[in-house]
Amino acid sequence: MLATATGRRKTATANVKVFSGSGSITINGMPVLDYLKRETLVMIVEKPLEVTDSVGSYDIVARAKGGGLSGQAGAVRLGIARSLLAINEDLRRPLRKAGLLTRDAREVERKKPGQPGARARFQFSKR
C-alpha cells in the first residue's frame, strides 16, 4: 500500500487506499461503474488521476458510507487526490489548480418549522 486518505462530501465519508497496479478502482468491493451506476459519477472519481496523468498507474480500493451516490463519489475523489498528494508532493500544484484538494463544505440546510422545506413557504392566502 502506498497511501491512505479520507475524503468527505455532504454526509458521505470515504476511506481510500492506493496501491501501485493496473488502474482498477473498487468501491465497497464492487467495480466503480457497477457501484456508482452512472458514467458522470465515474468521471468525477477518476478526475484526480486524469489531472496528474496517472491513469492506469494505481489500483484504488475505497470504502464509502453515508449519503448518496453523488456524495460518495465526491468523497472518493477527495480521498484519491489526498492519497496522490501523499505519494508525490509535486502533484500539489495541478491538483490544487483543478480544485481537487478543497473539501466542498456545502451541507443540506435544515427544514424550518411551519414551512414545507428549508427556504420554501406555504402559499399565502389573503382570504
**What pLDDT does residue 21 have?**
92
pTM, 2 dp: 0.91
**What pLDDT does residue 74 have?**
97
We report the CATH number of the domain holding residue 61 as 3.30.230.10
For 1-127, where are the alpha helices, taking DSSP H only?
32-36, 39-51, 69-87, 92-97
**Domain total for the chain?**
1
Q: What is the percent of the chain where pLDDT is above 70?
A: 100
Compute the average pLDDT of residues 40-63: 95
In degrees, rounded to 5, the angle at the alpha carbon of residue 52 between the alpha carbons of residues 31 and 75 is 50
Using the predicted structure, report yes or no on whether residue 1 has a pLDDT greater than 90. Answer: no
> Which residue range(s) make up the domain with 62?
3-97
The answer to whether residue 37 sits within a structural domain is yes
